[in-house]
Chain A
Amino acid sequence: MQHQINTPAWPRIGTVGLSGLLVTFGAALSEPANRAALAFRAAVERQDWPEVSETSTSLVSTFLSVDLAITSAAEMKERLTDLLGTQNWFDAPLPDGRTLWHVPTVYGTDLAPQLEEAAKVAGLDPDEAIRQLSSARVRVLTIGFAPGQPYMGELGKTWDIPRQTGLTPRVPGGALIVAIRQLIIFTAASPTGWRHIGQTAFETFRPAACQPFALSPGDELTFPSVSRDDLLHIQRQDTSGNGGAQAEQIT
């Protein structure tokens, strides 16, 4: 995606209905475009513009929630253009205050029955697949589909495997699933076209907690391999929702 960077086409500013503005940093997911979206969101937050009621990011864009019935889109675009011009966002440092999580994960077994199948599609033997997945460090690229549910990446090109043609009728909450160089931890039981390769006890959404969401876009994760018995033990012992995960601040 390097060819898109520093061309006049990106970033682009557009409106989203009467609900806000979207600053898009690329036509497809890339590390620099995702980095730009995260860094630019933090910059918009720092401006503390009264017209902006909240901000979010998708894979490659920063969204500003603005009431365009009472706010001039042209005026907001001008401000955003000025802010965009202050630096190259594609190689900007990621925002401060991010967390690195190490989430204990069972690969394969009856708890995650598609590890071998996914390894085969990726052209790896299962041990090598587990070695790669349990040592990868991925970033929360965006959160969506369900509350708190992270889309994480990018894995190496080996893991650019397609979705299944059919749907798995149900994977449980905490399932670690893979496709197109990305991982997801499922918030709640759901059908999916991605392959279920690991199982965690990590709860991404805790409605009753004072911090309902465990993850924010830009956080990073690893998924160290543990035994089936270890995970069952964690499930019994750790009632925090962390599923035995350790957190450290990224500095």
Chain B
Amino acid sequence: MSAEMIILAAGPALSVQDFGRTGYLAQGMTRGGAADTLALREGAALLGQGHGQAALEMIGAGGTFEATQDIVIALTGGAMTASIDGAPVVWNASHILPAGAKLKIGGATSGNYSYLHLGGGIDTPVLMGARAAHLNAGLGQPIKTGDRLPILPGNAQTAGRVFAPDNRFDGGVIRIVPSMQTTCFSQATRARFTATTFRRDPRANRMGVRMDQPEDGFFADDVLSIVSEVIVPGDIQITGDGAPFVLMCECQTTGGYPRIGTVIPCDLPRVAQAPAGAEISFEFVTPEDAAKIELRARAEVASLSSRITALVRDPHDIRDLLGYQLVGGAISARADPYEAD
């Protein structure tokens, strides 16, 4: 019988995610999948498995989990407090989760999207080519307390590994390329847009992230004449009140609001993970430079596994420390060391 993960207590927003679905744009469905795809790749690298496996995406807080067999887990994306049977475990690392042990994942301490990877991958049914829940499209369900997630067989040798993630959890400068409607905005408006420091608005979800600006909105010329047009994730649409929305993995396939630019793919996880209130600004790069930046980022992702090291454990962090035979082989303190056996 294959292993299962039992959800003893579900956090507010859990869903199974992978890289989503391609091939359905013409029928009105975007790719969906994990909001932070880099975190999916990091989990796969920690667990030494392919990129196709589904993981549990957690927003805000995780929950309490238990496996029916010994499994290996990995934790990536925005950090959360985590413990196994009360002993803290570090984020961006892989760990053994013994059968029956309680994995508790608490509130987020950085970022917005966190991932619990199960060695082997989650084995929920494939629907239209993927396991990812596309809740906006009505595909799949949120994961609730009492659910049981089947797990594919994994590799027990990949526990106890760690890596240092990039810093994509505090906003910063986001690189964008011109979009089909960039020139609908005057040069002055575009200059003001790139000179503005935005704050990531609390209004954000898997469809889009709103940017809060200190001053006036950004308006296109002749906005009413713009015909509804194709949307891709990363497009920055300017809504009726002049505020920019960066469209994310579960966005619609078409939309009528003008787009001032498009975030390059490798910077999209940074937008997804910027916490509410974080400062964000946008910088135009040429499509040629954007291609180079994107290729460099992909090369870094491809070499992720070379950045993984063995988890050196601080004795303070070792759970069940008293269970270890730390003094095995030592002789009694009362015995006379000079006395021959």
Contact = CB atoms under 8 A, between A and B. Distances in A.
Interface residues of B, number: 39
A68 B179 CA distance: 13
A18 B287 contact: yes
B137 A147 contact: yes
A14 B180 contact: yes
Contact of B264 (A14, A18, A146, A207): A18
* Residue of B27, B227, B228, B262 ringed by the most chain A CB atoms within 10 A: B27
B154 to A, nearest CB: 29
Interface in B1-57: 22-29
Interface string B291-308: 100110010000000000
A76 B26 CA distance: 20
A15 B262 CA distance: 10
A18 B22 CA distance: 16
B32 to A, nearest CB: 10
B23 A54 contact: yes
Contact of A56 (B26, B127, B179): B26
Contacts of A216: 26-27
Size category of the A interface is 35 or more
Contacts of B264: 17-18
A143 B234 contact: no
A73 B27 contact: no
A94 interface: no
B298 to A, nearest CB: 7
Interface string B114-145: 00000000000001100000000111000000
A142 interface: yes
A188 interface: yes
A174 interface: no
A61 interface: yes
Contacts of A208: 127
28 contacts: A15-B177, A17-B235, A17-B264, A18-B262, A18-B291, A20-B232, A22-B180, A24-B180, A53-B22, A54-B26, A55-B25, A55-B26, A56-B25, A58-B228, A65-B22, A68-B291, A69-B298, A144-B252, A145-B252, A146-B28, A146-B137, A147-B29, A148-B28, A205-B137, A207-B128, A208-B127, A213-B28, A217-B26
Given A58-B228, A69-B290, A207-B127, 13 more contacts: A16-B179, A16-B230, A17-B179, A17-B262, A22-B180, A24-B180, A27-B227, A41-B26, A58-B254, A59-B227, A148-B27, A205-B137, A217-B26
